[in-house]
Amino acid sequence: MMKPEDNELLVRVGPGTAMGALFRRFWLPVMLSDELSEPDCTPVRVNVLGEKLIAFRDTNGRIGLLDAYCTHRRANLFWGRNEDCGLRCVYHGWKFDVDGNCVDVPNAPDGDRLKQNMSTIAYPTMERGSMIWAYLGPRELMPAPPATEVFEAPASHRVIRKIVARGNYLQFMEGDIDSSHVSFLHSNVDNTPLAGSRVTPFAYQDKTPRWTIKPTDYGLMLAAQRNAGPDNYSWRINQWLLPFATLIAAPKDWPFTTNVRVPIDDENSMQFRIWTHPDRPLTDKEIETSQGGVIFPEMIPGTFETKENASNDYLIDRENQRTRTYTGIKGIPSQDLAVTQDQGGGPIADRSRERLTSSDTAIVFMRKRLLDAVKALQQGIEPPEAQNAAAYRVRPIDTVLPRGVDLESGTAADTMKIVA
């Protein structure tokens, strides 16, 4: 059971909050590259960590991420004209470049002098892994981006989707590391995997995973052990990257899922769901499989909202639930959303009212790691993970090993090749 004040500490992410400060020590994906499809395209609203921003791609292809509200009288730059290397406010014509410099004040006779002091907030950005990333923290602490292969692989190696999830980031991220739920939420009633899914059958045969958890330089290595016949164990070894991502194991040579969780504000978050094979392009068959509604949900066209959502009870099919699938809800992400979106009755889960068991060990470890990092930062101790981008170069793995192998021995670490 978590103290209510610790729960508050973890879920509040706006400017001036402790967890918000921790997130602001890391590069975060804030939108898909496709959302800014070409130079001088339409500006886009970006809401992240409780801040309202506007993104645009200028005439030279550079990306700007500015305070949404003009420095003059705070009109919304969303209405702005993206023209000739800058975004021009349509209220009185002031113009800003991607670095936030005010480059034109056309409504004042001394505008050329005034503009020197009218710059706006502009955050550094970069494009990586078909996503646009931003750094919202102190400039002098700006780190290198995490060296995770998923974020570096060419576009041919992945399918990616952005989903807006109507709830606090933390409960969704807890679902990502919760190996136990796979045996139930994502199963068929006959204890087989969902058609089109990529989960080892052992997850459905042994529903009581045992955890081996290793704190690492990037976060946590989370190994869930299940029986795989009399002589072997199945190991699903996921990687949790502090503070925002989980690499989820898939059996050998299958693409694996990465879920990145970025808070929009305290009650909403972005999910970047990435299905990747880091070593090779995805095959046509794999891409087709990924579009079947199980690995990626169907979306409402022109939005980042899933077709199956809270307003329609995720299109739950009770007859299907009685006879075929455990939930009666079609896809894996929709099944996840249904159970995590309103845990405890609202968009922010109240962790002081839970009853945890050993199956929740990974979640306990993650919460503690985040709490320790937040409390350290409150004391002025910077998170070392932010400055250790190279440590983030890890993979998840789903494998079967003889029962005698000890994951902590080092031999097993070699066997598993968890570090690329």
Give the residues lining the site for Fe ion (CB under 5 A): 336
Q: How far is the CB of 218 from ligand FES (least distance, A)?
A: 42
Report if residue 96 touches ligand FES, rule: CB under 6 A. no
Question: How many Cα atoms within 13 Å fall on the side-chain side of residue 184?
Answer: 11
State which of residues 31, 89, 185, 199 lies at the interface with ligand FES (CB under 6 A): 89
| Cα gap 190→118, rounded to integer Å | 65
Report if residue 324 touches ligand FES, rule: CB under 6 A. no
Report if residue 54 touches ligand FES, rule: CB under 6 A. no
Name the CA radius of gyration of the chain, rounded. Answer: 23
Three-state DSSP at 57 gives: strand
- Residue 214 is which amino acid? K
Q: Contact at 8 Å (CB) between 402 and 231?
A: yes
Binding residues for ligand FES, how many (CB under 6 A)? Answer: 9
Closer residue to ligand FES (CB): 72 or 330: 72
H/E stretch holding 355: none
Q: Contact at 8 Å (CB) between 413 and 407?
A: yes
Q: How many CB atoms lie within 10 A of CB 154?
A: 9
Q: Pick one of Fe ion, ligand FES, none as the site partner of residue 336 (Cβ within 5 to 8 A by kind).
A: Fe ion
| Cα gap 245→253, rounded to integer Å | 21
| Cα gap 409→398, rounded to integer Å | 18
State which of residues 35, 47, 78, 91 lies at the interface with ligand FES (CB under 6 A): 91
The strand pair at 210-215 and 158-165 is best described as unpaired
Q: How far is the CB of 420 from Fe ion (least distance, A)?
A: 24
Report if residue 326 touches ligand FES, rule: CB under 6 A. no
Q: Pick one of Fe ion, ligand FES, none as the site partner of residue 394 (Cβ within 5 to 8 A by kind).
A: none
State which of residues 27, 56, 94, 244 lies at the interface with ligand FES (CB under 6 A): 94
Close Cβ partners of 135 (under 8 Å, ≥ 6 residues apart): 24, 26, 27, 28, 123, 124, 125, 142, 143
E-state strands within 58-129? 63-67, 81-82, 87-88, 95-96, 102-104, 125-128
Span interacting with ligand FES, options 15-23, 36-44, 67-75, 192-200, rule CB under 6 A: 67-75
Closer residue to ligand FES (CB): 73 or 280: 73
Site string for ligand FES, 14-53 (x = CB under 6 A): ----------------------------------------
Q: How far is the CB of 93 from ligand FES (least distance, A)?
A: 6
What residue ranges bind ligand FES (CB under 6 A)?
70, 72-73, 75, 89, 91-94
